[in-house]
Structure 1
Amino acid sequence: MNTLKGGLAATLLFLSAFAQAANLQSQLTSFFAQRLAGFSDEVVVNIRTPQNLLPSCEQPALSVLGNAKLWGNLNVLANCADVKRYLQVEVQATGNYVVAAQSVARGSLLQPGSVTLKRGRLDQLPPRTMLDITQAQDAVSLRDLTPGQAIQLSMLRQAWRVKAGQRVQVVASGDGFSVNGEGQALNNAAVAQNARVRMASGQIVSGTVNADGNILINL
């Protein structure tokens, strides 16, 4: 009889621990699905931490470091009434990423048909693979690309909106005033990048390139 009770107790304990682990996995899946919304529509989380080291409460507060990646192997902080546990998890995320739709020669300006979206496991891609196809707009390839190749951000640069030696308009503005002047760009720069300009007086100023090619300075 005692043996039967002991076996029943062990079974109930096992089922309780199993249910707790399943509940935690569900919470982790929801946690990462919310953070990956817009990038991934299919998230699977596998817990690698041993069951005896999982948090004891039913609803732990989950968090990751602000600059941590959100898929692959990573650590999650689970906080239960100020008792902290670090969980090792594997996050599998499926979504769209940018690939070359055709061969692209190094130094070429990408055209609308140069790239396309492909669906797959984001956690298995090279670091900094492009997920937003608009980032390829007005971009120049820094290397030869082959059809189907995943495009990393380091493979492209934005096309120069201003080139060194070019005459540019400088617009300096402040509270209630705006002053225009002309100068010579001293470096290549894309839209939203910084450009240095030598003014007619010889003074060198620095500002941000806008879509029109003007250099904006906020005073």
Structure 2
Amino acid sequence: MTRTLPATILVSMALALALVAASLFAPQARAADQAMLESVRQFLEDQASSLGDEIEVTLHPPAAKFPACPSPRPFLPNDSQPLIGRVSVGVQCGEQGRRTRFLQAEVSVIGAYLETARDVAAGETITRDHLVIRHGNLARLPRQTLREAGQAIGRVAMRPLSEGQVLRGYQLRKPRLVQRGEAVTLEARGSGFRVTRPAEALAPGGRGDRIRVRLDNREILHARVVGERRLVVDN
């Protein structure tokens, strides 16, 4: 005669088996999660390596539990997002990449940036003596902070700047080589020929700027500033 075990014993046995299974597979799941997180950390460090001297990545994995992510392949969902501060990261899982996870990370970059070494008057041309190089967490700096002396030297301050001020791109402009209403020389180049004509600048401009000019016959063209009162018509 076959005896049936009481329901309470069956439930206890099922729970025991579940606990044994969880204890066997939990280390494997934790190892897989750790491998996925490490691949994301390495990916972000590599992507941000050119931004500064020291990179630190803090990961914020989702609270919810997900299946294991074999063969993780991290990517940036938004290529235009700056790799400084809070960053969103995607991870394709499996050989075919059929599952995708998303998590948040904080990227701290220690690097060089520019400050003013002394007060700068509006309209003053920036020289190396105006600049001092500092090092710090770039994520905490204002947008458009300049990081290399070459980005500032030779440009003109658009407003007064005080000593010790973080230097930003919009505070400077190119030196003007052409003024509005000024007589300029317009040059047209081609294969085997070069022609110059007098013209009038209809806007100010620095090197590389494209501005409108008016010829003697009242024709209006767009030309590129290449020197002091000199412009070129690009073909």
Q: What's the TM-score, normalizing by structure 1?
A: 0.85
Of residues 32-41 and 92-101 in structure 1, the stretch that sits farther from structure 2 once superposed is: 32-41
The 5 A counterparts of 1:135-174 are 135-174=151-190
Alignment of 1:79-158 (within 5 A): 79-80=92-93, 81-158=97-174
Deviation at 1:132, TM superposition (A): 2.5
Q: What residue ranges of structure 2 are gaps of 5+ in the alignment?
A: 1-14
Q: How many residue pairs are counted as aligned between the two chains?
A: 217
Partner of 2:39: 27
Moved more, 126-135 or 30-39: 30-39
1:50 aligned residue: 62
Report the counterpart of residue 193 of structure 1 in structure 2. 209
Q: Which runs of 5+ in 1 are unaligned?
A: none
Structure-2 change in CA distance of 1:163 and 1:87 (3 Å): same
The 1:194/1:85 distance shift into structure 2, 3 A limit, reads: same
Deviation, 1:58, is 3.5
Higher mean C-alpha displacement, 48-57 vs 149-158: 48-57
SS in structure 2 of the partner of residue 161 of structure 1? strand
Matched with 2:78 is 65
CA distance in 2, matches of 1:55, 1:140: 56
Q: Distance in 1 between matches of 2:185 and 2:115?
A: 37
The structure-2 alpha-carbon separation of the partners of 1:166 and 1:29, relative to structure 1 and needing over 3 Å to count, comes to farther
Q: Alignment RMSD, CA only?
A: 2.7
SS in 2 for 1:206: strand
Q: Secondary structure at the match of 1:210?
A: strand
Residues 22 and 94 (structure 1), Cα distance of their counterparts in 2 relative to 1, 3 Å cut? farther
Are 2:36 and 2:69, in contact at CA under 8 Å, matched by a contact in 1?
A: no
Q: CA deviation at 1:146?
A: 2.3
What amino acid is aligned across from residue 88 of structure 2 in structure 1? N
How much has 1:22 moved relative to structure 2? 4.1
Give, as a single letter, the amino acid of the residue that structure 2 aligns with 1:145. L
CA gap of 1:57–1:206, structure 2 versus 1, over 3 A, is same
* Alpha-carbon distance in 1 for matches of 2:68, 2:196: 62
Residue 39 in structure 1 maps to residue 51 in structure 2: yes
Q: CA deviation at 1:106?
A: 2.6
| Greater shift in the superposed pair: 144-153 or 54-63 | 54-63
Distance 2:189 2:34 in 1: 58
Instruction: Tell me the distance in 1 between the aligned counterparts of 2:130 and 2:67.
Output: 48
Classify 1:181/1:54 alpha carbon distance in 2 versus 1 (closer, same or farther; 3 Å).
farther
Whole-Å separation in 2 of the counterparts to 1:53 and 1:105: 58
Could you report, residue by residue, the CA deviation over 1:137-159 in whole angstroms, capped at 9, with x for unpaired residues? 22122232222221111211111
SS of aligned partner of 2:177: coil
Report the alpha carbon displacement of residue 176 of structure 1 after superposing the two structures with TM: 4.3
Deviation at 1:98, TM superposition (A): 1.3
CA 1:202/1:121 → structure 2, altered by over 3 Å: closer, same or farther? same
Over 3 Å counting, the alpha-carbon distance change for 1:18 and 1:131 in structure 2 is farther
What residue in structure 2 maps to residue 182 of structure 1?
198
